[in-house]
Amino acid sequence: MSLRTVDAQAVLAGGFDALIDARSPAEFAEDHLPGALNWPVLDDDQRRLVGTLYKEAGALPARKVGAPIVARNIACHLERELGDKPREWQPLVYCWRGGQRSGTLAWFLGEVGFRVARLDGGYKAWRAMVRTQLETLPAAYRYRVLCGRTGSAKTRLLQALAAQGAQVLDLEGLARHRGSVLGALPGTPQPSQKHFEHRVWQALRGFDPARPVWIESESRKIGALRVPEALIAELRERGMCLQLVLPDAARLDLLLDDYAHFLGDPQAFNRQLDALVALRGRTIVSDWQALARAGRWRELFGRLMREHYDPLYDRSLRGHWRALEQAPRLHLSDAGPAALAAAARELLAAGIAPGSDAASRLGPEPAPAAATIVADDNTRSD
C-alpha cells in the first residue's frame, strides 16, 4: 500500500488526478476544495445516527454500527468509480479533520494499488489556510472601483469589461445576489459564507498583480453574506473610484429589466419591501406596496430610486469611499450592450485613475456618444 500525508500548501501545488471528499453530502454542499468529488463514507442520516450513538453509548457501539455502513458505502464508490482508473492514478482524500473517514477510504484505495495522499488536518486545515490568505491577498492588487447609484449599470459594465479581457471581481455574481433588499435571484440560493469566501479567494488567486482588478462598490454584506473584511478595507482605503452616471429614465429601464421576475408576483415583491419598514416607516412602504398591487411598476421604481436607493447610496458613498471626491465620472447615455462595450473599450484604453484629467487621457479622438468620461469638478449633480 502506498499512502502519504500532505499539507494544504502541497494541495495548492497540484499533481493529483482527483480530490476526493469523504464527508457527508451536507458538509460537501456547504463548502469543499475546488474541483473535489464527493465520495461520502457516511451519508447525512448515517452520520447523524453514528454520531448520536457515539455521544450516548460510546465509541465501540458507534463503530460496530458504523463500520459495516462505511464498508458498504466505500464498496459502492469503488465499484462505480474505479473501472477506468489506470495504475498511475493518484487521488488525494480528505474529510473534516483528516481522521477516520478519509483514513479508511484512503486505506481501501491504497490496498487496491493506487498511490494515495491524505490531507493532513482535512478540510479544517484547508479552510484555515484560505481564511489566513484572505487577510493578506487583497492587498496584492490595484482596484478600479465602479461607483454609482442603483441602476447605473455597474454590474453590466463589469461584464462588458470582462468580455474584453479585463480582470474583474464580480462579488455579486459570486454571492448570487444583487446586493439590495430586492436582490435575491429567483430560484438561485446564495452559497454558504464559507463557500462564498472560498470563491472570492479562488478569484483573487487567479489575478495578475501587474494588472488592475475591476470591481463594483459594495457594502459589507451582499444579501446574507459578508464580504471579507480585508477586501472591503483595501477597496475603501486605496481603491481608485470611477463614478457611473446614467439618466434616470435609463436607470428605470434597467431596474425594470433586472427585477422583471417580480412583475407577475406583486405579493412576493411586497413581502420583500416589508424589510424596509424600520428604515422608511410603514406609511411610505404601504404606499409603495399599493403601487405594486396596482401594477404601476415604473412609478414605483421611480419612487424607490428617489426615496430609498439614491439617498441611501449617496450617504454610503460619502461615508466610506475616500477617493470618491477626486473620482472621474463616466456619463453613459444608455445601458445597452453597444454603449457598455464602447465604454469598456474606452476605460481600458484610458487607464483612468482618480485625480487625473481623465478627459485628456482619451487621446485626440472624441469620446463615443454613448460614453463620456470627464474629470470631476465637484459641481455636477447626480
Catalytic residue annotation: 95
36 in Cβ contact with 23 (< 8 Å): no
| Residue spans of alpha helices (H) in 137-244 | 154-163, 171-175, 193-205, 229-238
Q: Cell match 439617498: residue?
A: 311
Strands (E), the chain: 2-6, 18-21, 37-38, 91-94, 115-119, 143-147, 167-169, 213-216, 221-222, 225-226, 240-245, 329-332, 371-374
Backbone angles phi, psi at 240, to 5 degrees: -95, 115
| Angle, CA 67 vertex, CA 62 and CA 72 arms, to 5° | 140
In the three-class reduction of DSSP (H, G, I as helix; E, B as strand; rest coil), residue 265 is classed as coil
In the three-class reduction of DSSP (H, G, I as helix; E, B as strand; rest coil), residue 99 is classed as coil
Q: What is the DSSP string of 119-163?
A: ETTHHHHHHHHHHHHHHHGGGGS-EEEEE--TTS-HHHHHHHHHH
* The one-letter amino acid at 238: R
CA-CA distances (angstroms) from residue 331 to 3, 27, 176, 270, 375? 61, 47, 28, 33, 11
In the three-class reduction of DSSP (H, G, I as helix; E, B as strand; rest coil), residue 191 is classed as coil
Instruction: Give which of 187, 258, 257, 173 is closest to 216, Cα–Cα.
Output: 173
Instruction: Give which of 7, 23, 31, 2 is closest to 121, Cα–Cα.
Output: 7
Grid coordinates representing 381 are 449633480
User: What strand order describes the sheet that includes 91-94?
Assistant: 2-6, 115-119, 91-94, 18-21, 37-38
